[in-house]
Structure 1
């Protein structure tokens, strides 16, 4: 207890003196950054784990792009399970002279098997609605989401046109199982009775429909046996069919969550890394101030064992305090993260669990012990003679091996947040590159300043000499500030520069409407209608649904591909089209386009990206299943498609007459000028089966989603910026005693307070410039990659944006240094000499 008591009293003393405040702040920052992200993602995972069946609306769902085989339903009923069926498709909804794209879900009796449909029959605004559970809509009625009601000004009792049917709005859907959030919905929901679908006439050849068979058990015994049913289904599944259960509920949401967790995790990891650097720097004055106290203890007979116990208790108390405060702040911060992310994944989230708390405590204790403990070992070696001779510190040679545990903890945290060895390696490589560039620029700058003469550059050279005396600290400060600055710059650059460039790269008359589900006999009338209203539109393109079966005689198997996109492409249906001439926004990159006399020959032109993803090349023979018959085509060319043109394009194109024997439907795109919405309404009224996709609205929704995510990530990157400031402050505190001696000597030798202050400001002005240069270099490299490989636009260097970042660093870094060190310049030389 003696060791614990002494440790506590020393902590209080060091806190009063201000020596451990930076250390504690950095520790709290690291734990807060870790736990805030962990709390947020843990709540989402917990919701998906505990409410997976509600997300599905059942215990098991068979999804298919064609009608569910009757055998599946018969087998489920034979085993005594509850069953129901549903189907989903997109279509236009009309009310008077306005129309809107909606996602239609037609459900049968018993839906949902898990969870409850929540509706309101009073108001479309859920905030004032009186929700109630309900069964499925009655025949002849629909339930709609409030946002559709707002767009079409619908009230209870209004009629809407859906295809060839008139249906009554009977309620507003507030919550629907199997639709866990609106992240991936491009249109509002309309819920209808499945018995009304046929009368709408919307399901025609080529219509994209998702069929579902929902299965649920009545009791726990059946729940265990349900796995046997899933095992029975697996070998029966045909292409385009899959089984989802609680573990695989909403795979698209799980994939998005994994990516978001990785990105947020890496963002928080930047803050943790910088916080560890700040802890290391802050431990220097912490140890320095404690040398005299432990030398005095040695004079009174304290053993190394007792000193070790005191140091251990002191470190553990500090770790406990910082970790607990960090966990509390992380718990509060995750609510802000959830608000900024909006209804990104799920409408409601369960209360956070305890696992993030354990992770935060482990992070706090592991980082502090491994970073600070090697420094504390200096205190064990301090001799009692230091009471008389201040220059004695014992054996203070720092063995690099002592910091191996810190590197191991750092590597473990990076890997845990990244969730992938390759991604973790990239993070480490980026950090090493950042350190190397910062060190190289600092070294180059110092070499240049050696040629300055003291007479001409007196104050400047005095400031630069401070950088030369502390090269390691200089690099640490540059790295810390540049990482924090780069995190903020990159997000601002992406949102404010790249996205604007992306939008401005689109022509003013770029197509903003796509029309699908066009039937062959409707083409002349649609052309006439659009032409009559002076709407310039592209050709109406044919497409035939086909599924890739084999490549060069080898059956295609999604398991043969490692890439997730390749797996999806191997499983999905393709749209084959035909054309005599290559479109203007296509560029031939391999092979030859066909001649006029190639019409009817089994040739194929593929989009370059698709070919690379599926490892296809010119000369390969592909076998497709088209409406039950096999079609073999040979690849003769690869095309690079400019998807940003927003025109209709296809992955796979054949010469004319190759697909004449197969039924096709058609699609087109056009630019709808403002104020001509009546044309769309007339088009849908005349051809109810058409589906019109408002590309501008979809892009707006995607931009809103991106904005939500960018705000959330900026929130996490804020920890990085704070940690960068902490590194700067810790470095100042670590060299405070040295700076006091330097300023005292300069004042004694006749330097004015102004000159001493200016020399320090010059030093940190250089640090700010170096940090800004490093941050801008890496920000522009990342922006170049995003522009060229993600957004597919031409990268343009933004000189004004770079200059703003440079000016901000030039002003803020010296100002922050002045705030920290200003008190030492207010004292006369006599007081400074007495303090040494």
Structure 2
């Protein structure tokens, strides 16, 4: 019997396909899978490209960091995995030129450095830059511009490094891996690793940081990372791009969040289209189910036949959707590839399997309950047309759809907390939309006796089919709302994100400023017609205890927590939160409060397990400073403003030794100011972060552009959902139209009435969508992306106007087909 069901389902599938009833469902599945797969292919390429570009800020894809010489086995293992390798060592030391001595941060690199990105140098301090594929040759040294001012030597002079002298060949302006260690208190001096033995500076007792750089294909890098993690010594660690600067990490994470949001909306709309199309198809198949029962088929056999038919449609349509998605992303890659240096990398095979799986899961979750009801059609329907399939269980439909949605969301975005928020938000939004739709339908009932004939007809249709109109209105509102979120709210959120990298964003940092140097430096800025920068106090302190429990790096399993516990913090003190910081828990201190308080960045608190009310003890200049955590702050790390992990009231740290730090904007023609500042105050360190900003801005631009293109697929999924919702009422409208024409109504009047009905429905759906998009956009911006949000009036203009025009046009196109069928044929079919 089971084999017979398989054969029968395959034979009947061809017949039903030719009849055209399955084409709506199949089209919904194809478009759904194509949308999701194209998003998957394209997002996979874009994310791989962004990570590849971001890896330039490490100089590699993966770095092994060790205070001891790295075992040759780790390098040999990388090469065995087919990866490129390079190495360098860094250590502080004093360099000499004549009678001048200066502490410097020495970096000895081999010929393979860097593996990602390019070094930049110039022939003279603050001169034009040139890209270099590798570091200094043996016998040469490259130094930062600030060392030229501090030691007053020229290119070509000999600089004494330890026991040897190296010729100053070029000015070092940029290192790719500087993104992971932005603030070096001492100027950089780079030379070849072959010259290290001659310096005599590296001994077993030396404080040296050894790094092994690894780069290659992502699968090979991931495999090596897993292999190396099992062979690392306790004092060694692995660093990837996500362990780099907070500015960079935030840019990548937000880029992935925006792409995930776009793909998520496409999945939601696709599932809705499949569910509506499946319900329409199951209603059309009531006669077929009744005939099969009359011919002796059991209910189980009928259910198997229709379930198998659905399975074949799901498999074939998913395959077609994967091919369509691959073709679509190929076109997008060609269009967008010019924006990525070196083009986009090849996508992995994962989107193929995920597209097929998502297609099957979506069909089963959203279509299966409607198909199961066909087996419950009574055989008596062949004689009594009013008997149809009993409606599916509301709990079954909602439960399975909710479970499917949860699986798809978890698959698509992988963040359990975000999935929970989206599911809760989707449930609340659906209930609110349905309730609001019912309310609007009730408000329309008194108006159906007013206006012209066409308007009265359209309003009467909406009011008469209250339940069906409310469902359709909710579906249209949900589809339009999703499109508004990506069309306008998305633009607003991306614009808010990109404002962090505006033309006014700081691109220079000045650190190690002494208290008595703040006013002269501000005066120097004013003398050149520039705004005075704000200097922030910075106190060095080590966290030694949390609630009187000693802080030991070995107590933490998280590598980042271990590093934070072992480092010294840059503490600061302020009366009020600085711009870009806002309190998320607790409250900021006020005048007259106990000064023994701390404000902690919420990410640091999560990593180190710090909670509101905890007592933190810091060792500052040989003294212990204690205070209670009274508030947690959200910090806008990607603003390139000065930010601190831990801040205290001024009274707590005022007496502690402090230096000052500031960030400011300086155009290219202001480089003379930097030279003047360093010449007047040799101890001051100026850091140029323009190149780092360019890299982070590039990642932001790539993510924005990717979301723009991903939106096209989401728009297509929304159009399909709109089409499926209109098709679901096609039979009912056919019957109504046939009766009206039989009673003497002309085609023009009927068409005008249908157009009025759809336009009013679109207008109401637009109102619901604009209100929902505004509310959800606010929640997304504030709670998930941590971005400012402002109400966009175009949201209402486009939502209401576009809803009326779009749904009206779609209804008109659908109604034309209804009017083509002769009324007598419709009445004879008893539809």
TM score, norm. by length of structure 2: 0.71
Distance 1:161 1:742 in 2: 95
Distance 2:42 2:804 in 1: 36
Match for residue 773 of structure 2 among 772, 779, 803: 779
Aligned to 2:22: 20
Cα distance change of structure 1 residues 435 and 815 upon mapping to structure 2, 3 Å threshold: same
* Structure 1 residue 55, shift from structure 2 partner: 10
Match for residue 729 of structure 2 among 712, 732, 735: 735
Q: Secondary structure at the match of 2:238?
A: strand
Distance 1:503 1:243 in 2: 33
* Structure 1 residue 814, shift from structure 2 partner: 0.6
* Structure 1 residue 244, shift from structure 2 partner: 0.7
* Structure 1 residue 420, shift from structure 2 partner: 3.6
Match for residue 791 of structure 2 among 772, 794, 797: 797
Distance 2:449 2:801 in 1: 27
Aligned to 2:804: 810
Cα distance change of structure 1 residues 770 and 311 upon mapping to structure 2, 3 Å threshold: same
Q: Which aligned pairs between 1:581-660 and structure 2 lie closer than 5 A?
A: 590-593=588-591, 606=599, 622-626=616-620, 629-634=622-627, 651-653=646-648, 655=650
Distance 1:254 1:668 in 2: 22
Equivalent pair of 2:88/2:210 in contact (CA under 8 Å): yes
1:322 matches 2:324: no
Query: Gaps (5+ residues) in structure 1?
Result: 90-103, 122-130, 145-157, 199-208, 217-221
Query: Gaps (5+ residues) in structure 2?
Result: 78-85, 93-104, 122-130, 145-153, 161-165, 197-206, 215-223
Equivalent pair of 1:545/1:573 in contact (CA under 8 Å): yes
Distance 2:602 2:229 in 1: 38
* Structure 1 residue 819, shift from structure 2 partner: 1.4
Distance 1:551 1:445 in 2: 57
* Structure 1 residue 321, shift from structure 2 partner: 1.1
Distance 1:534 1:196 in 2: 48
Cα distance change of structure 1 residues 733 and 184 upon mapping to structure 2, 3 Å threshold: farther
For 1:424-464, what per-residue CA distance to the aligned partner results, in whole angstroms no more than 9, with x for missing partners?
22111111122112112211112222223536565334323
Equivalent pair of 2:444/2:459 in contact (CA under 8 Å): yes
Aligned to 1:193: 191
1:824 matches 2:827: no
For 1:761-808, what per-residue CA distance to the aligned partner results, in whole angstroms no more than 9, with x for missing partners?
232223322332222223222343456567888754333442232211
Match for residue 32 of structure 1 among 26, 31, 34: 34
Equivalent pair of 1:44/1:346 in contact (CA under 8 Å): no
Cα distance change of structure 1 residues 801 and 450 upon mapping to structure 2, 3 Å threshold: closer
1:282 matches 2:277: yes
Distance 1:46 1:502 in 2: 21
For 1:135-155, what per-residue CA distance to the aligned partner results, in whole angstroms no more than 9, with x for missing partners?
8644436699xxxxxxxxxxx
1:749 matches 2:743: yes
Q: Which aligned pairs between 1:751-766 and structure 2 lie closer than 5 A?
A: 751-766=745-760
Match for residue 427 of structure 1 among 409, 422, 437: 422
Cα distance change of structure 1 residues 5 and 501 upon mapping to structure 2, 3 Å threshold: closer
Distance 1:792 1:380 in 2: 50
Q: Secondary structure at the match of 2:624?
A: strand
Aligned to 2:125: none
Equivalent pair of 2:770/2:795 in contact (CA under 8 Å): no
Equivalent pair of 2:541/2:620 in contact (CA under 8 Å): yes
Q: Which aligned pairs between 1:171-186 and structure 2 lie closer than 5 A?
A: none
Q: Secondary structure at the match of 1:750?
A: coil
Equivalent pair of 2:434/2:470 in contact (CA under 8 Å): yes
Distance 1:5 1:584 in 2: 72
For 1:592-630, what per-residue CA distance to the aligned partner results, in whole angstroms no more than 9, with x for missing partners?
5589xx9xxx96664686898678799975432447x44
Aligned to 1:213: 211
* Structure 1 residue 348, shift from structure 2 partner: 7.8
For 1:637-676, what per-residue CA distance to the aligned partner results, in whole angstroms no more than 9, with x for missing partners?
87989979987565425658967775x5432345658965
Q: Secondary structure at the match of 1:797?
A: coil
For 1:22-50, what per-residue CA distance to the aligned partner results, in whole angstroms no more than 9, with x for missing partners?
21122123323443444456668999999
1:465 matches 2:468: no
Match for residue 86 of structure 1 among 76, 86, 89: 89
Distance 1:215 1:700 in 2: 23
* Structure 1 residue 735, shift from structure 2 partner: 1.8
Aligned to 1:721: 715
Cα distance change of structure 1 residues 603 and 400 upon mapping to structure 2, 3 Å threshold: closer
Equivalent pair of 2:597/2:630 in contact (CA under 8 Å): yes
* Structure 1 residue 346, shift from structure 2 partner: 11
Distance 1:105 1:492 in 2: 50
Distance 2:48 2:754 in 1: 52
Aligned to 2:147: none
Distance 1:427 1:760 in 2: 35
1:368 matches 2:368: no
Equivalent pair of 1:621/1:634 in contact (CA under 8 Å): yes
TM score, norm. by length of structure 1: 0.71
Distance 1:577 1:161 in 2: 41
Equivalent pair of 2:135/2:191 in contact (CA under 8 Å): no
Distance 2:578 2:292 in 1: 85
Match for residue 474 of structure 1 among 469, 473, 481: 469
Equivalent pair of 1:604/1:636 in contact (CA under 8 Å): yes
Q: How many residues align?
A: 755
Equivalent pair of 2:475/2:725 in contact (CA under 8 Å): no
Cα distance change of structure 1 residues 332 and 308 upon mapping to structure 2, 3 Å threshold: same
Match for residue 415 of structure 1 among 410, 434, 438: 410
Match for residue 487 of structure 1 among 482, 486, 502: 482
Equivalent pair of 2:546/2:617 in contact (CA under 8 Å): yes
Alpha-carbon RMSD:
5.9
